Amino acid sequence: MQFPVNNFKKALVNQQVQLGLWQGLTSAYAAELCATVGYDWLLIDGEHAPNTLQSTLAQLQALAAYPVAPVVRPAANDVVELKRLADLGVQNFLIPLIENADQARAAVAAVQYPPSGKRGVAASIARASLWNDYQDYLVRANDEMCVLCQVESVTGMSHLDEILQVNGVDGVFIGPADLSASMGYAGNPAHPEVNQVIEEAITRIRAAGKAAGILHTNPVQAQRYIDLGALFVAVGVDVSLLKSAASQLLAVFREGAQTGDQSSDGVY
């Protein structure tokens, strides 16, 4: 059986922009629907969405048939949780609330087999190795892991350069909402001071030879970050898209609002 090459990681190394969509509905059915759209990656959120190990597995299984990269955000930078996700077959990790180099090193170690890491060895019962059907899985697995550190606080930003020097960190994702709160501008991630810090961070990340990432649902602002060099950019959230579309549709009948596209004559 052919070993699973991490094409998402390869794309970041080749400096190819990867557009993503956040998955917060915790539904394999919804995730599969989104997989058919054409995004490069989908983020399965275990930090702020009510995902479990089982619901994450179901979404991974649903996405496996499509050319889209699953990225998983665990609830925390926890060695046990990261080990279990790695055994499920997760290759791309977005680790929340990284504030210093030691935390970044711990995240990398948790998903790497010894001697470079601390991941437990149990390939014979792991989906990641296809239950030992992948040849040389234990030898090759480390090279295909992609660790993305989420820096989302003033403290994290003050240690950004140290985090970027950690071997095994492939990229840094900036969390605008938490960063703005940490800076004293809660609920205002578009504040000029917040945006200045974000733009400077993207420049520093790229200068260090790492991939920069962010989530922003404003197309103009998202494109601005791409133009600055951000490589993995989530441009929407499934929960928000569903609520927005449902609200707009209801407004057509409740308030007489007009939609942008009224050409469809189908029931869906």
Q: Report CA torsion sign: 31, 32, 37, 39.
A: positive
pTM score over 0.85: yes
pLDDT digits (tens, 9 = 90+) for 57-91: 999 999 999 999 999 999 999 999 999 999 999 99
Please tell me the CATH code under which domain 7-243 is placed. Answer: 3.20.20.60
For residue 207, what are its two tokens?
A: 């200068």
Active site residue ranges? 48
Q: Rounded to whole angstroms, how far apart are CA atoms 203 and 225?
A: 10
Q: Report CA torsion sign: 84, 88, 91, 93.
A: negative
Residue with tokens 């200045």: 196
**Does the pLDDT at position 264 exceed 70?**
no
Residue with tokens 């557009």: 19
Q: Rounded to whole angstroms, how far apart are CA atoms 80 and 246?
A: 39
Q: Rounded to whole angstroms, how far apart are CA atoms 73 and 187?
A: 22
SS3 93: strand
pLDDT digits (tens, 9 = 90+) for 247-262: 999 999 988 766 554 4
Residue with tokens 């609200």: 247
